Amino acid sequence: MKKLVVTVVALGAIIWWLTQRVDLTEAWTALGEAHWQWLVLAVVVQFTNIYTKGVRWAFAIEGAIGERPRSLVFRSTMMGFAGNFVMPARMGELLRAAILHRHNPGVGYTRALASAALTQFFDLIYLLCILAGFALMGVGSQLVSPYAAMTFLAAALGALVVVFVFAWRGDWVEQVLDKLLGDREGLPARIKNIVHSIHDSSQLVRNPRFFAPIFGLSTLCWIFEISTVWCGMLAFGIDASPSMAGLTMVALALSFALPITPGNVGTHQVVSVLVLGYFGIAESTVLAFSIGLHFTIALSIIGVGGVMLAMEGMGLKELQEEIEAEKKALARET
């Protein structure tokens, strides 16, 4: 109930802010004048991105357990992304791990989830480096200061150190946790189980056979993400540079990483207006771009993901039950 109240209040505040700041009539007109072929291309690029993320996830799992999942990696990833749009707190990540585990019993649910988290950790490192690069080049200097650039670089370096510590000294980390937490059940046991899964998943960085493809696929994913935003800008006549599209994508990625509303509805629009307003783009055009791109991508993913869920014999009720079952199974493992 509290989460629902927070979501409703946040959406209300966002809608009020947008109505005070943007001419909605002009935004509606801009929506009607969109070049929709660019939005279709954006959907194609985003679906290619989702497929690439699925392949990357499979490499990460193989690097952890020595076995690559063969069944429904793309479908699991697509359903997970669809779940992120309709469920709070990015619960689609739990869904895709559960479905992958269902069709690949040799891949444990916890391991699948930890491997997905590790690939997203690499995305975070990329994001911090991109932000730092923009700041050092003076792109968006009013949004990202040189001081912030150094902070982002330090954070990226710290994140890499964490990954390498788990890869080479994970046993030591687990031993320390054992001494601190002992054999207590409940939350301490879950923490130890999660750390063990992260330790296993991080082993891939010690093997170039897995780390190199994941690094390359992560680069491709960010190219696809930025290209998706660029296509959306072209659809609404925004003369976008790669840096403009890149900075917008980074800001949107940060907002999606900490979801306030399901599917980032409203937050996507506010972030777009603030970032592109820096570049002098009319706010009504920016709002039209954000609504057009966001909802075209979201509805496409939800539509395809919904069909795939139906093929799994799952509805919304079954979906929630699947996630709850995996949570209970994880608790029993600990």
DSSP state letters, 9-51: HHHHHHHHHHHHHS-HHHHHHHHHT--HHHHHHHHHHHHHHHH
- Could you give the CA distance from residue 272 to residue 250 in angstroms, rounded to a whole number? 11
pTM score: 0.85
Instruction: Report the amino acid identity of residue 115.
Output: S
Report the helix count and the strand count for the chain, using DSSP H and E: 13, 0
Of 312 and 305, which is predicted with more confidence? 305
Residue 322 has pLDDT above 90, yes or no: no
User: For the chain, what percent of residues have pLDDT higher than 70?
Assistant: 88
Say if residue 36's pLDDT is above 90: yes
Q: Which residues contact 153 (CB under 8 A, 6 or more apart)?
A: 128, 129, 132
Banded pLDDT at 220 (limits 50, 70, 90): very high
How far is Cα 282 from Cα 263, in angstroms, rounded to an integer? 25
Write out pLDDT tens, residues 153-196: 788 788 888 888 888 888 888 888 888 877 777 777 777 777 87
CB 269 within 8 A of CB 226: no
Q: Regarding predicted confidence, which is higher, 92 or 225?
A: 225
Q: What is Dmax (Cα atoms) for the chain?
A: 64
How does pLDDT run across 265-310, given as a tens digit for each residue?
899 999 999 999 888 899 999 999 999 999 999 999 999 998 998 8
